[in-house]
Amino acid sequence: MQALLSKIFEDVKPLMGKGKVADYIPALASVDPNQFGIAIFSNEGDLYQIGDADTPFSIQSISKVFSLTLAMKHYGKDMWQRVGREPSGLPFNSLVQLEYEHGIPRNPFINAGALVISDMNQSRFASPHYAMSEFVRRISGNPEIKTDLQVADSEYEFRHRNAAMAYLMKSNGNFENEVEDVLKSYFANCALRMSCVDLAKAFNFLANKGYCTISQEQVISEEEARQVNALMATSGMYDEAGHFAFQVGLPGKSGVGGGIVAIVPGRFSICVWSPALNKVGNSCAGVAALESMSKHIGWSVY
Ligand code: DON
């Protein structure tokens, strides 16, 4: 495995820095694009890593999987009246569908869907971001995980598009709490800083039937873990979900910080990271690394 990682690292290195670092969140625009890391954590507890795999980065939309997990633990099947399970076929921050579909977002991974999930967690926890931080520290085994307050503040300052979605959902009766409070929790969760190693470990439960080997807890049921993987496979990579299924064939979730998490059910949780993004907001070198890895090992679930 380590030899394969070295080969993939060398193959994909020329792509490092190709694409564009997210700049619609000003605090992310200054990240050095020439960084690239991979971490793979096996269900047996073996860790493989290469490059900048220990460097913390802004997890952004990858946090949506953790929020969904926390909401599922509490609300179970009831939550699906408020958010759908279909790919949107539109950019992650699109507003148009939301009006046609009466304030019910297509899935929990587009921004509108993640905001509804954050609203659910706002109703459930006294401090939703504290609950989230505790959760990711526990399941990754890293008590040092922190929130980048500068990124969270920067997102809040430029919140208008996300605020528009949340207010539209509120006008449709699909939002329980004050919009501004939920936005603050949502941005703080997106602004968590974790490394590839942290994320590969934290996602072990999705490769492992809902059980986290690090914290030794059943995080969600086996059925729920399968459902989260299915949602990642259909909607985790936004407009590129089809291409990703075709080329990589694994459930995946990306973030505009340049991270991508992928799950090989029953075997591995993987995180790749390189900050420069393609047009739909997924890491260029990250997608290429996963394509190459999956091809070499024949990991596709299809
Ligand atoms: O709300 C936003 O736009 C960001 N905090 C998260 C977007 C994101 O990461 C989309 N991923 N590719």
- pLDDT cut 90: percent of the chain above it: 90
Is the C-beta atom of 255 inside 6 A of ligand 1?
Answer: yes
Average pLDDT over residues 161-190: 98
* Catalytically annotated residue among 94, 116, 186, 201: 186
Establish whether 256 is a catalytic residue: yes
Nearest by Cα to 108 from 66, 50, 159: 66
Q: Which two tokens stand for residue 185?
A: 């929790």
Is the C-beta atom of 235 inside 6 A of ligand 1?
Answer: no
Is the C-beta atom of 240 inside 6 A of ligand 1?
Answer: no
| CA 278 to chain CA mean position, Å | 16
Q: How far is the CA of 61 from the centre of ligand 1 (A)?
A: 5
Establish whether 186 is a catalytic residue: yes
Q: Which residues pair with 99 in a beta bridge?
A: none
Q: Which two tokens stand for residue 53?
A: 């795999």
Q: How far is the CA of 261 from the centre of ligand 1 (A)?
A: 14
Q: Which two tokens stand for residue 194?
A: 């974790």
- How far apart, in Å, are the Cα atoms of 230 and each of 63, 68, 89, 117, 130? 17, 13, 16, 17, 28
Q: Which of 18-22, 215-219, 251-255, 259-263 has the lowest mean pLDDT?
A: 18-22
| CA 182 to chain CA mean position, Å | 18
Phi, psi dihedrals of residue 275, rounded to the nearest 5°: -70, -20
CATH superfamily of 2-295: DD-peptidase/beta-lactamase superfamily (3.40.710.10)
Average pLDDT over residues 294-298: 87
Residue range 51-60, pLDDT digits in tens: 999 999 999 9
pLDDT-based confidence at residue 21 (cuts at 50, 70, 90): very high
* Catalytically annotated residue among 21, 116, 182, 256: 256
- Computed over every residue of the chain, the mean pLDDT equals 96
* Catalytically annotated residue among 21, 31, 58, 64: 64
Q: What is the pLDDT of residue 239?
A: 87
* pLDDT of 24 above 90: no
Residue range 89-114, pLDDT digits in tens: 999 999 999 999 999 999 999 999 99
Q: Which ligand 1 atom lies nearest to the CA of residue 60?
A: 9
Phi-psi map region of 266: left, alpha, beta (phi>0 left; psi -120 to 50 alpha)? left
Average pLDDT over residues 57-65: 98
| Cα 100 to Cα 86: distance, rounded to the nearest angstrom | 15
Q: What is the pLDDT of residue 213?
A: 97
Residue range 257-285, pLDDT digits in tens: 999 999 999 999 999 999 999 998 899 99
Phi, psi dihedrals of residue 163, rounded to the nearest 5°: -65, -40
Phi, psi dihedrals of residue 58, rounded to the nearest 5°: -75, 120
